[in-house]
Amino acid sequence: MVAEQQSVIEFTEAATAKLVEVLKEQDAVDSYLRIAVTQNANGGIEYVFGLEDEAGETDSVINSGAIKALVDSDSSPLLSGSSIDYVEGFERSGFVISNPNFQGGGCACGGGGCGCGG
């Protein structure tokens, strides 16, 4: 059964604005943003973003104003308490995920750039 949750992950105003812009560009305003955590070969983590038309049975649905996100049941405990921001810098711009579950933070790519958070 799909569970609706508010507290798994939060979006800053900057991240929400950028995600709304990207969803409009992709003609996907009604789509869900899929957020997943995967482990890479070095034992580190990577965040994966995607778009989905509907939630799966084991997904948590996060309604954060203008953004509807999905988190699978494996990623949900790994993302709990995290926040997503969007930062623009001189050399690069991108989404930054602050995750209290991992000491080194993590990286995410999208919107023309990549970013890491701690």
pLDDT along the chain (118 residues), means of 10: 63 95 94 92 88 94 90 93 93 91 58 44
Structural domains counted in the chain: 1
Domain residues for 34?
A: 3-117
pLDDT of residue 114: 45
The pLDDT, as a whole number, for residue 95 is: 92
Sign of CA dihedral 54, 40, 77, 23: negative
How many other C-beta atoms lie within 10 A of the C-beta of residue 68?
18
CA dist 104 and 6 (Å) reads 24
- Residue 110 has what pLDDT? 45
pLDDT at 111: 42
Give the type of residue at 65. G
Strands 60-64 and 67-71: antiparallel
Bridge-based pairing state of the strands 113-117 and 9-11: unpaired
**Which amino acid, residue 61?**
V
pLDDT for res 70: 95
CATH number at residue 85: 2.60.300.12
